[in-house]
Structure 1
Amino acid sequence: MSDPLSFAVPTRFDGARDRVAVVVPGVGYSPARPLLHFARSVLLQHGWTVQELWWQIPGGFAQFTVDERIAWVERRVSEAIEAEAGACRLVVGKSLGSLACGIAADRNILAAWLTPLLTIDHVAAALRRATEPTLLVGGSADKVWDSRIAASLGHEVLEVPAADHGLELADDAAGSVDVLRRVVSRLDRFVGSLGR
């Protein structure tokens, strides 16, 4: 599968050189968007070096099979992890990025998944295999979030009532800011619990 229009531009923010976190975007949710922007801030405050993965979704991506989408995401995330020469110890991913759950599980990498695609068998199976500390964050109004699956995986879970796939509340801007604060606070506690 050739995709010359896709690319990854890693952006680094330096902290500890032996503690690198890779931030993985969603389809239309770049590292500049609030959840991932503040995730980067949390990581830096805890002394991590952060590599943000930026990508352009290739034309025709909507017609890719699930397996092709998984392969596309896994290739980019693997390249980002391998570029860190063994220093990548944490992945923070949003939505589409969660298709790389298997990479994190198989390489024993800590993870925080924001709105993971729990309704895709590959993602749920990978999360069942994951043995390192993992945080799952989703909203009860998100069609790709499944409360029952999330609770069954044995990981830390933050479910936000009525939040959608963007972890926002419909027609409630102030309430959405409160949700963002809650998610960032939980991510801060999770990252802080990982130690040095």
Structure 2
Amino acid sequence: MVVKIDDDVVVNVFALSAYASSDAGKLNGIHCLVFENVKPSRNRRYKWYVSEQTYSRDKYPTYCAGAAFMMRTDVLSTLCEASDHVSQFWVDDVYVTGILAEYANVSLIDIGPYFGFWVRSNTKRMANTTLFIHTGRPNRLGSKRGILWNSVIRGSRTVNSDFNWTVGIHTRNVTSFPSQWALLHNVSA
């Protein structure tokens, strides 16, 4: 399994190992915190501003939080092949896990219950089944990462191999996506 994480994410390597070897971890798709019905920011002052000329749809395709996600190597190969047919888009999490995944008909496996996103500053413990905690800006929590990591070490033996991981599967049903993409982005299908 290939895991992509940002520098502001704490990984529970013990839970991740248990998850990767579980039935849920073997599902084919991108395992992540799923975002649905997200609109592109049209406010020029916002860091993630996207003009209508750059992206004309009202909403992004369902995609993964870019802080952390994982997939099997065959899924990565499929996305790489799709990138030969789809023009690049600068918002990388939307591009890779949304646009390319939609083009290639790759499912998203929602691991939301095991993903701590925007953790509060007084958080001192990471649940034994939490795979990732997004701490925000790298310098924001400082020593909190150490505290969270120590909680991972203390709880390392409590996730056993028979834990029942519950995930949601977001399948794609796109039969005409290539032509839609070509129309939106002026590329040939």
Which has more helix, going by share of residues? 1
Greater RCO (CA < 8 Å, at least 6 residues apart): 2
Larger radius of gyration: 2
TM-score (norm 1): 0.31
